[in-house]
A = this chain, B = another copy of it.
């Protein structure tokens, strides 16, 4: 993966949370485990909060936790929360122009890409975030 570092971070974090749902984690903890920066973590997790997957609390004993049962969260929920659109990028902003080929191509390619995007989401919906954490891990102490 290259352009999915946000998605990777989100999935990685949620999967760990699914393995120990009660625990509250700070963005510093998460960043440390993921090898990145607390601000980056808050940026990404903020999107997940907007989508209703996470809750965050400020202040002394604050941090992040799941906002709903881990069993009810699928990879598609995470993917959609980030509205990344892996396949169908934003439609080309080329001016209308006089060339019909341009418009015809645009229409056809967009059609195919939208279909593929829908297939992708459907496939992602088949897997829950609870499917990745091992029953025990000495590294994260579960």
Contact = CB atoms under 8 A, between A and B. Distances in A.
A18 to B, nearest CB: 9
Given A105-B15, A133-B100, A87 B86 contact: yes
Q: How many copies does the complex hold?
A: 2
Contact of A102 (B12, B98, B106, B127): B12
Interface stretch (A2-10, A21-29, A54-62, A63-71): A2-10
A127 B115 contact: no
Interface residues of A, number: 44
A3 B132 contact: no
A99 to B, nearest CB: 6
Contacts of A98: 139
A104 to B, nearest CB: 4
Contact of A116 (B12, B119, B137): B119
A11 interface: yes
Nearest to A127: B108
A96 interface: no
Given A112-B120, A116-B123, 17 more contacts: A1-B92, A1-B106, A12-B105, A16-B101, A19-B101, A75-B109, A86-B86, A87-B116, A98-B139, A99-B139, A99-B140, A100-B133, A100-B134, A108-B127, A108-B132, A112-B123, A112-B124
